[in-house]
Amino acid sequence: MSQMDSPSDLGAVQILAKQVVANVNRVIIGKQAAVELVVIGLLSQGHLLIEDVPGVGKTMLARSLALSTDCAFGRIQFTPDMLPSDVTGVSVFNQATRQFEYQPGAVMSQILLVDEINRATPKTQSALLEAMEERQVTVDGVTHTLPQPFMVLATQNPIEYEGTFPLPEAQLDRFLFRVSLGYPALWDEMEIMNQQQFQHPVETLSPVVAVGALLAAQQAIKSVHVSQSLREYIVRLVRRTRDHADVYLGASPRGSLALFRGGQARAALLGRDYVLPDDIKTLAIPALAHRLILAPGARLREQKPETIVTQLLEEVPVPESASPHK
């Protein structure tokens, strides 16, 4: 496993991140960009919404990430009859001690997979919302702190809408990125068949980094330099989503923070101690598109939030230099 000698060792962060990416790629074939985005989200201490069709590896992605980082893995299959206590846990009266004892729910994990998040009722979704935002849960008036690191990977099927409860804007805004895996290419799908002929590769996966090193890396990326001009670029880009004619509700300041912290993590993954405009442009759609609520007219024209973000990237002037060494 990788260890970090110092929390400020950005070189060690790159090594750690690339080891995790390479290990996950042993299971998730041909999806390098998506895997890197997930690792960037983990380093940024954010949560991810994985929106994709069934069978493309969403569950395996979460399991592989947990196994690679030696993190405790939890899984919740959301259904309409699920209660908030199924997420948070319950207090049970112990006859022997004559006291109530907390029985943890699945949320007491480090990497938590929430399958089909839009199938649970809003009340159950809100229980997860507190855990994601506050990194704690409250049961019978008692607050329980979640373990570190804590990351939610929530999945939803973009095709089936019957029997679902669409995520409210407030909850969508709490996801750092929205990720899509998509179907594999022809040769990648053949490789998947070959790998799983006798055993699933996830069964042979072992940790490549220690939890302590991961926590140190999450702190280390905060020292990655973001120039004043690039900070202004981020804010201008996000503010333009609020003024766009086809957008009813633009990205909140959380969108700016997602680009800021995600840019730092991507720079560290690529071996830099400073963020470039390319980092921000690469992360703009995953960080902003799911936060945009389109105007009714735009929805009638089947306008896509991704198209609007792409348009804004072409319109907002890019700063000339973002490196602290120039």
Q: What is the pLDDT at residue 1?
A: 60
- Can you give the pLDDT at residue 68? 95
Question: Superfamily for 10-219?
Answer: P-loop containing nucleotide triphosphate hydrolases (3.40.50.300)
The mean-pLDDT minimum among 101-105, 148-152, 249-253 falls in 101-105
Q: Does the pLDDT of residue 8 top 60, yes or no?
A: no
Q: Which pLDDT does position 202 carry in this prediction? A: 87
Query: Mean pLDDT throughout 51-72?
Result: 89
Average pLDDT, the chain: 88
Domain residues of the chain, as ranges? 10-219, 224-315
Q: Under a CB-based contact definition with an 8 Å cutoff, are residues 76 and 114 in contact?
A: yes
If one compares 283 and 87, the residue with the highest pLDDT of the two is: 283
pLDDT at 213 over 90: yes
Q: What is the mean pLDDT of residues 185-214?
A: 90
DSSP conformational letter for 143: E
- Hey, is 153 helix, strand or coil? strand
Whether 326 has a pLDDT exceeding 90, the answer reads no
Does the pTM surpass 0.75? The reply is: yes
- DSSP one-letter string for 261-281: HHHHHHHHHTT-SB--HHHHH
Lowest mean pLDDT of 6-20, 68-82, 175-189, 276-290, name the range. 6-20
| Maximum average pLDDT range among 1-10, 112-121, 303-312 | 303-312
Q: How many CB atoms lie within 10 A of CB 63?
A: 22
Fill in the DSSP letter of residue 2: B
Fold match between 10-219 and 224-315?
Answer: no
**DSSP state letter for 8:** T
Q: Look up the CATH number of domain 224-315.
A: 1.10.8.80
Q: Which residues of 240-275 are buried (b: 16+ CB within 10 A; e: fewer)?
A: bbeebebbeebbbebbbbbbbbbbbbbbbbeebbbb
